[in-house]
Chains A and B, each alone.
Chain A
Amino acid sequence: MDTRKCECGHTNPIGTMLCESCGKPVDFRDTHDAQQQAFPDMRYEGMARRSQTYSRTIIDRIWNFFSSVKVAIYLIVITLIAAAVGTIFPQQIYIPVPVPTEADVANFYADTYGKLGEVYYLLGFHNLYSSWWFVLLLVMIGTSLVICSLDRIIPLYKALSKPRVNQHRSFLTGQRLFGETSSEAAVDTEAFMTKAAEQLGKKGYRIYREGDSLMAEKARFSRWGPYINHIGLILFLLGVLARNIPGFHLDQFVWVREGQTVAVPETPYYVKNENYQTVYWDENEMAQNLDLQGKVIPKTYRTDAILYLNKNADLPGAEPDLVEIQKGPIVVNHPMVYEDLALYQSGVREMELGALNFVLIDSKAGNKALGNLKLDLYSPQTEQQIGNVKVRVIEYFPDFIMGTDGKPATKSNQPQNPMFALEISADNGTKEKLVYLQGGFISDTENPRYALDIKMPDLIDITGLMVRKDKAVPFIYFGAFIFMVGVVMGSYWQHRRIWVHREDQRILMAGHTNKNWFGIRREMEHVIKALEIPILIQEKGKS
């Protein structure tokens, strides 16, 4: 049997709590026993929720699993606990030191946090938020959101669109707020109901009349709040998922030296760092004298940048054909935005060696300065002519180290400790070799004719720019906005209903709301006072 028969003769679907025809609670004995508190849930005005109806096939079972609020709560709580576990130690992306290989990552956790850290790493908690099971949890929450909403939205619509005015007595007495006149009140029903309607109308209620019954209703729309906010959340999660569509999301980083123009990875753009500057707060600008103990507080990190479009971007690495498209500063909190590309100021290496400066001196000419020699550490010229003298770079090691084979080598491609071997040829054909290292020179000649006088090197700032593209963000914001609309509707308004019913010369009054019982009770008492009828509203203690 799929149906339940009410005393009135109507058959209702399984899951129905209030008869669809007469409104009497189904399978609810109409007693006035104080112990009897099993009054049906009012959420769908006693209508059946679809998922409760059948559970035969596997599809129905999965469906019913996800349509359960209990399951949703479990999912929320598990996600909550998992999220908390992920903050015990830093996630891999927040490790403060560089960890190039997986073994380094493992070592970092073991060395820094001991045994616990090791276990943390082994369980994969160092990448918890992108682990398959955490993603699975989030998708399950999404599934639960979709199915719970679908499952409830139809019965709610039905329930709200056909409000029942003439309720069964047991329905009214079963409400949390209920009161009735103790004796037979000799009043004119029509006049009384009109007066009640007027009073309730003043309180902002919409009035429905039907014979000896009246129902007043307020802020019905707030019942849609939860569904709207769930739709918002679904949109939000879809937006997050959409970020994974190829081309929707870009996350890159470039270091750009002052004066350098580099390709913005995975885009047809180039960016030039014209100038980088860190500004510090001046003491005069501070509202209060601070004892900073010689430290300074940064005010601005700023890169003056030019963004170019490479018209020859089809072939990566090929000679670019650049067209300037945007120019301006990039400051923390104020990225450079062009279409959906954004460049963020997010790091700097300041005062790095850019070029070495020397003055070439001829000892034979009475230590005469012949001219300046500049050795650019990022692109040294192979040959420079200074007066009649030719200076040739024979060898260059940007980050000098003595190799294991006893030969000079470099530790990296960054000019941290530059070493140059130079060949200086005079116009008469004599050649001298000179090696520059760590602020000193070694010459291959006994009494060299030429010497280099060290001048202040060029120091440059290298700015770190984060490159981001996130096409899904507007969609995600839209979802968040819908969520807020829904949650505000549902939280700051309450669906209130008051029933006034006349039966056997008695006047019955009941009230229901989804929250703020205090508020509706005050309104009911106000109306009772205005109507001058002896009703005392009783509030049932639920537990």
Chain B
Amino acid sequence: MLITVSNWLLNAAFILYVISTIFFVVAVTGKRWSGRDPKEHERRFGGIAYTIAVLGFLAQAGYIVCRWIASGHSPTSNMFEFMAFFDFCIILAYLILYRIYRITALGAFVIPLGIIMLAYAYVFPKEVTPLIPALQSYWLHIHVTTAALGEGVLSVGFASGLMYLIRTVSQERATKSTRWLETVIAVVLMLIGFILMDSTYARLDQNTVFEMQQQQMDGAGQMKNVQVEYTLPAIVAPNGSTIIKEGPLTPIGEAPAWMEGKDAARKLNTMIWSVLSGLVLYGILRLILRKRIAAALQPSVSGIDPELLDEISYRAVAIGYPIFTLGALIFAMIWAEEAWGRFWGWDPKETWALIVWLFYSAYLHLRLSRGWIGTKSAWMSVIGFVIILITLVVVNLVIAGLHSYAGV
């Protein structure tokens, strides 16, 4: 019952964020509509958008409370719950930074980022699962929530860094900067493409099933060939496998032999689909807009002082860095010491958290000592976010160590 309510609240939050985004877009793009006072227009629509975002945030807070009560543990115990919580932290960080800087366009970038993360969460199984012994510790709540909050604040740093780049990179002619900027946008589109593909095919039930040569003990103690099920149409089959249930596509090739592991080929297949669908989305957008995406986005941020965007980006990093350190490294170490008897073990997830930390340490030193502000700093915040995504997503799904959340 409570779980149903929590799911409704999360859906409501999702819809509210979408509506909020629409109002934000109207607020920043509608300024030049005829017969309007641009300032007044931005103030009014920005205000509405912000209010709706707050409502979405409250709905999501309600989801967290309900799910927490229903399950008896903080909703941070699997990939679905974590990504949804990450989105929550991004929105929270946005709300705080908006109160300080009051930039309407910030919402137009951050809220969609939150939506992508939430949509990504929906790709994973949504069931409330009981906690396995390793997760039964109050450090689960403390470590994961603090780490997610730090990452959320750093993500806002990315969003405003990206805004800075869109605002300042000259779109008059193609340069290295415009190409890289388009690449970043294309990568974001790949993530969206993956989410669209996966959620579509999950509903269509067009699975392809392969049987591999490797054997594994089943529940009854019998040795059986390992089966791999693809949700997405198969482009690459697992190495040395045979199809036992046809899907919508005949595989074009096989994954290379070194990609062993039960899920390696499926992950490769998913990766290929993500890249393809992202590129298709990008192509469609380019055709519609008839210019670079960043060029199309530029007018939405043209009225903002780039220095202020730089300042927000830096501020977000300065606020997020200590929280991240505390949550993702220090609390993590204390928990690891309690659960595994060693505070540090170079597990891939731990290592990547350290990499994020080292990267932002370099960011801060470059900024404070070497005067890397503006463009360089903005690029750093973009790369930082990519590293955060690697830590949160790629490490869990591809490298899988001790932090084995259920994966796609």
User: Does a CB–CB distance below 8 Å link A and B in the complex?
Assistant: yes
Instruction: Say how far B129's CB is from chain A's closest CB, in angstroms.
Output: 7
Q: Which residues of chain A are near B129, meaning CB under 8 Å?
A: 286, 290, 297
Q: Which residues of chain A are near B70, meaning CB under 8 Å?
A: 287-288
The proximity string for A residues 375-400 relative to B, scoring 1 for CB distances below 8 Å and 0 otherwise, is 00000000000000000000000000
Contact A515 B342, beta carbon cutoff 8 Å: no
A518 closest partner in B (C-beta): B311
Q: Which residues of chain A are near B127, meaning CB under 8 Å?
A: 288, 290
One of A79-87, A426-434, A528-536 contacting the partner: A79-87
Contact A515 B366, beta carbon cutoff 8 Å: no
Instruction: Say how far A431's CB is from chain B's closest CB, in angstroms.
Output: 40
Q: Which residues of chain A are near B257, meaning CB under 8 Å?
A: 114
B369 in complex: contacting residue of A69, A115, A286, A541, CB < 8 Å? A69
Interface residues on A, range: 35 or more
B322 in complex: contacting residue of A114, A281, A466, A488, CB < 8 Å? A488
Q: Counting CB contacts under 8 A, is B41 at the interface?
A: no
B71 in complex: contacting residue of A287, A466, A491, CB < 8 Å? A287
Interchain CA distance A476-B321 in the complex, whole Å? 20
Q: Which residues of chain B are near A87, meaning CB under 8 Å?
A: 348, 351-352, 395, 399
Contact A484 B137, beta carbon cutoff 8 Å: no
CB-CB under 8 A for A76 and B260, given A333-B137, A333-B339, A491-B318: no
Instruction: Say how far B64's CB is from chain A's closest CB, in angstroms.
Output: 14
B133 in complex: contacting residue of A69, A331, A466, A492, CB < 8 Å? A331
The proximity string for A residues 502-514 relative to B, scoring 1 for CB distances below 8 Å and 0 otherwise, is 0000000000001
Contact A297 B130, beta carbon cutoff 8 Å: yes
Q: Counting CB contacts under 8 A, is A473 at the interface?
A: yes
Contact B361 A76, beta carbon cutoff 8 Å: yes
Interchain CA distance A93-B345 in the complex, whole Å? 9
Q: Counting CB contacts under 8 A, is A94 at the interface?
A: yes
Interface residues on B, range: 35 or more
CB-CB under 8 A for A86 and B351, given A69-B365, A542-B371: yes
Q: Which residues of chain A are near B134, meaning CB under 8 Å?
A: 332-333
Q: Counting CB contacts under 8 A, is A537 at the interface?
A: no
CB-CB under 8 A for A484 and B330, given A87-B399, A492-B319: yes
Contact B133 A480, beta carbon cutoff 8 Å: no
Which residues from 295 to 338 on chain A have a C-beta closer than 8 Å to any C-beta of chain B? 295, 297-301, 331-335
Which residues from 68 to 106 on chain B have a C-beta closer than 8 Å to any C-beta of chain A? 70-72, 100-101
The proximity string for A residues 335-376 relative to B, scoring 1 for CB distances below 8 Å and 0 otherwise, is 100000010101000000000000000000000000000000
Contact A470 B337, beta carbon cutoff 8 Å: yes
Q: Counting CB contacts under 8 A, is B243 at the interface?
A: no
B374 in complex: contacting residue of A226, A331, A543, CB < 8 Å? A543
A291 closest partner in B (C-beta): B127
Which residues from 119 to 178 on chain B have a C-beta closer than 8 Å to any C-beta of chain A? 127-130, 132-134, 136-137, 139
Q: Counting CB contacts under 8 A, is B185 at the interface?
A: no
Q: Counting CB contacts under 8 A, is A516 at the interface?
A: yes
Contact B395 A299, beta carbon cutoff 8 Å: no
Contact A76 B365, beta carbon cutoff 8 Å: yes
Instruction: Say how far A128's CB is from chain B's closest CB, in angstroms.
Output: 8
Q: Counting CB contacts under 8 A, is B343 at the interface?
A: yes
CB-CB under 8 A for A491 and B319, given A333-B137, A484-B330: yes
Instruction: Say how far A219's CB is from chain B's closest CB, in angstroms.
Output: 14
Q: Which residues of chain B are near A470, meaning CB under 8 Å?
A: 337, 341-343
Q: Which residues of chain A are near B343, meaning CB under 8 Å?
A: 470, 473, 476
Contact B358 A287, beta carbon cutoff 8 Å: no
Q: Which residues of chain B are near A90, meaning CB under 8 Å?
A: 348, 401
CB-CB under 8 A for A295 and B341, given A69-B370, A94-B401, A492-B322: no
List A residues at the B interface (Cβ < 8 Å). Answer: 69-70, 72-73, 76-77, 79-80, 83-84, 86-87, 90-91, 93-94, 112-117, 129, 226, 251, 281, 285-288, 290, 294-295, 297-301, 331-335, 342, 344, 346, 466, 468, 470, 473, 476-477, 480, 483-484, 487-488, 491-492, 514-518, 539, 541-543
CB-defined A-B contacts under 8 Å, sample of 17: A69-B365, A69-B370, A70-B369, A70-B370, A90-B348, A112-B260, A115-B258, A287-B71, A287-B72, A295-B219, A332-B133, A332-B136, A334-B338, A477-B333, A480-B333, A484-B322, A487-B321
